[in-house]
Structure 1
């Protein structure tokens, strides 16, 4: 009798265990993303696709940017700032290790910024950190930065992907084997297919909910749609707006519509004729029908812009009427510039739906004023090489997703090729100003200069339209900085 009861008890216990296992929430997530990163080191490349995978997941900075765009402590748990805004002293988190087991301390901070500022640095935004005159290790958990001038965005800039902390033992291999201090460690990269991350057991920060995350590279909208519907992926942070209707009203999915920092531009090679002529750029600006582009390329989700600034930013000024849609005005300006019959140019388009749809609409309108555009579809790696690096292009369409990146126009070597000493002076003053009212005034002045100079064709602010399994929570609705942060994502009942 006793043995029979024991057997029954064991059977019930086993049954309960099996049921519990069957009902247990999953702890892995598979995320579809449109672009594969060229490398996995955010301190050595400009592509947003890098940060989508690694920012705040594998790598961390002294500060981090939260979903609302605010600066939060990260590897630095606190800091003090001198009265003249030139000295920042950071107290570091204790007990932090890199994913290879090596310890994190102030020496790693110094190494990171010495590396960023070295003559052979490949950091895409070294200019953010050039005001740093010295980084001094006070003790293993205290580091002091001295600046050559006040930098109003310094704490924010420390929270960018460009400034994540790396270690001397592993920095040289981070492009393909990234090692950071974040909640996830790198497992594998199957080129052309996926990147796999897993939870880092000894992580120093708040516990995370996921044990594994896989980024699956899917550039085609139809393929992404099918992968979502089939359950091959659990979500995507920025789905093509034209296909959102497939998921509307489907209880298996949630659609998250938010904002980004993505100023979508008809980027123009300002160093190449005929775009060196202001009248030509003004003519193109008059030939841009923003409403048609927004309706056609974002299905109404985009917000029109008239300069390089996000509409949700408190410093934004509406300049969309600087050059209103007016084909007659455009033709007149082209004639004055010596092109009464227009001219021919190329428009290189990366593999993004908004870019290729916008390109078709712009080409149609430009043809009405005599500008004949040859649309050239290129893959992402080719776009980075041809357009961004070699500046071998006439026109292109791309979203610039870095926050507060209007300062790029102050760099004559940036791929736009815009060289305006007046604008550069305004940005220099803005960068050195910490008073908010003065910063806003200068930001508006900078926006206005770009709008009047028609440096680029300012189209719309890129929306973030995520599609996620309805049992997932913790995804960011908005995207105030490049990245797809995993730390709060979890499965629910």
Structure 2
């Protein structure tokens, strides 16, 4: 009989194994949500607030939250589900099954009652809290969980979590309903950090009735219905807030839910806005036009920390600033699309051959780029320059330094590549935000110093850049950002972006050694084993140079001091179910 580990039964065992069950509901006006802490605030911190207040939460009022970008949607199979791209908005609507507590570095239970695993982490059993209902009145139960996971696995969708589930769970048949509140997951690849899935978009459960009401996906009117649902999934969630209106390009407005399973919600309303600038977010906090702002650029983070009227919660993101390096990908051409690579080509498979497909060219780029100089020129010296896969801000940093910047070595690598037939040409594509324009300029200088013949552009918006890289695939170097959080989704970010068969591997990197190391990291049961696996991955990163990192990024949830009770989860997402305004 297999040995079982159980979360949610005995407190000592919970603490030992790193997943803590937290109480729900209210008692005498003090916040006791699942993982909400004590309704506190502070100047800086990592997860919940660092400075406590003895004031009782005050009810009512509304807040305006400036997000980093406008989400692609409120359906988790469409939205990215991160702090930068819709995750916080979706948490407000749907809640999650678990929650990562960055202060304790443990997973806590939200809609889950218990979560148990086999000794090898290959089988996980989830039992839900009883009595939870979606806002349409239907049951939040085991069938609903399976329906949602099946939806990720069985349909083509744009969620970044789909590659995680395909890699680790594999197939919908590996998810089975045991009883009305219990679901069993039999994993294709054992993963000791499986609770991290349930704190992300796979743990944002929607009412099956609402999804089924959209009808047959092959029907002519299905897309229109699905698009409307993506904008206004009314009644589909069990979270603390309900959608009121999403005005594209302006705001998403939500009102509190009177039926939230986690107790009273203090705020009446939340308005999420996109200011298209972290600097504008800081300005809005100071002028009072916004109450909470998601910041990602080093100057905006620095400026918010310097203001004593503002508090904030920080997440350190490895690989936050990087240059994707295209190693050649496989396209399927149809009627000359996607352009320009398929123009004049017959329908069918096409393997691309960008300049950076050459390993020596990639080595030359890695040696040519100097993160310290980039930080000085682009961030006024306020960033965290780094070119290693993991740095000292990562809790399980394996201590593997990145490739040493060396213009002489870069020229040597490029000369060797050219002697073997490389052109010495390289294309660089960045977006038109001021900081990206500055980055493109310094990249041009550093690459030319190594002997490259450059073609640099920084005149396209973010949407166009995403299309160029993810659909057209016609690039050598692309300004980008990978999000490797300081939690158990760190390994999933590497699966998502660089696993050989990942549907979101944008650079065509393929390495059996890398894939094997991913499996080892997923199965690691303690910090020592995880660190050893990360060491292998970091060494392979330096050897193969799949892309080039130039900075670690701080993602900061900044707020006015009167805003209380904001707390983080994984991937820089944050909860607002126990947020309140001190009047």
Q: Provide the residue aligned with 1:450 in structure 2.
A: 541
Does structure 1 residue 51 correspond to structure 2 residue 131? no
Q: Which position in structure 1 is the counterpart of 2:517?
A: 426
Distance (whole Å) between structure 2 residues aligned to residue 47 and residue 369 of structure 1: 39
Change beyond 3 A, Cα 1:248–1:425: closer
Cα gap change, 1:395 to 1:479, in 2 (>3 Å): farther
Aligned pairs, number: 468
Structure (1 or 2) with the larger CA radius of gyration: 1
Q: Report the Cα distance in structure 1 between the residues aligned to 2:550 and 2:579, rounded to whole angstroms.
A: 32
Name the CA shift for 1:82/1:336 in 2 (closer, same or farther; >3 Å).
closer
Distance 1:125 1:311, change over 3 A: farther
Q: How does 1:16-27 map to 2 (within 5 A)?
A: 27=61
Question: Who is 1:395 aligned against?
Answer: 477
Residue by residue over 1:429-454, the C-alpha shift from the partner in whole angstroms, topping out at 9 and shown as x without a partner, is: 33234354333212210111012212
RMSD (Å) for aligned C-alpha atoms: 2.9
- In the TM superposition, what whole-angstrom CA distance separates every residue of 1:104-143 from its partner, at most 9, and x where no partner exists? 1111011011111115354433232234352222222222
Which residue of structure 1 lines up, in the alignment, with residue 29 of structure 2? none
Per-residue CA deviations over 1:136-185 (Å, capped at 9, x if unaligned) read 22222222222344222212122222442122222354522233211111
Q: Pick which of 247-256 and 383-392 moved more.
A: 247-256
- Taking structure 1 as the reference length, what is the TM-score of the superposition? 0.85
1:156 aligns with 2:196: yes
Distance 2:513 2:100 in 1: 31
Shift of the alpha carbon at 1:356? 4.0
TM-score, normalization: structure 2? 0.73
What does the per-residue CA deviation read over 1:33-78, in whole Å, with 9 as the maximum and x for residues that have no partner? 2311122222334374443442421123322223445311122111
Unaligned 5+ runs, structure 2? 1-57, 215-225, 329-352
The equivalences for 1:221-260 within 5 A come to: 223-238=280-295, 240-243=297-300, 250-254=307-311, 258-260=315-317
Instruction: Specify the alignment match of 2:134 in structure 1.
Output: 98
Structure 1 segment 61-460 matched on structure 2, within 5 A: 61-68=96-103, 69-130=105-166, 131-132=168-169, 133-171=173-211, 173=226, 174-178=229-233, 179-220=236-277, 223-238=280-295, 240-243=297-300, 250-254=307-311, 258-261=315-318, 263-271=320-328, 272-309=353-390, 311-320=392-401, 322-338=402-418, 343-350=424-431, 354-371=435-452, 372-402=454-484, 403-404=489-490, 405-407=493-495, 408-412=497-501, 413=503, 414-460=505-551
Q: CA deviation at 1:300?
A: 3.9
Instruction: Give 1:238 deviation, angstroms.
Output: 0.7
- Taking structure 1 as reference, are residues 276 and 469 closer, same or farther at Cα in structure 2, changes over 3 Å only? same
Show the counterpart of 1:31.
65
Q: Distance in 1 between matches of 2:275 and 2:577?
A: 23
Corresponding position of 2:577: 487
Give the SS at the match of 2:418: coil
Q: CA deviation at 1:397?
A: 1.9
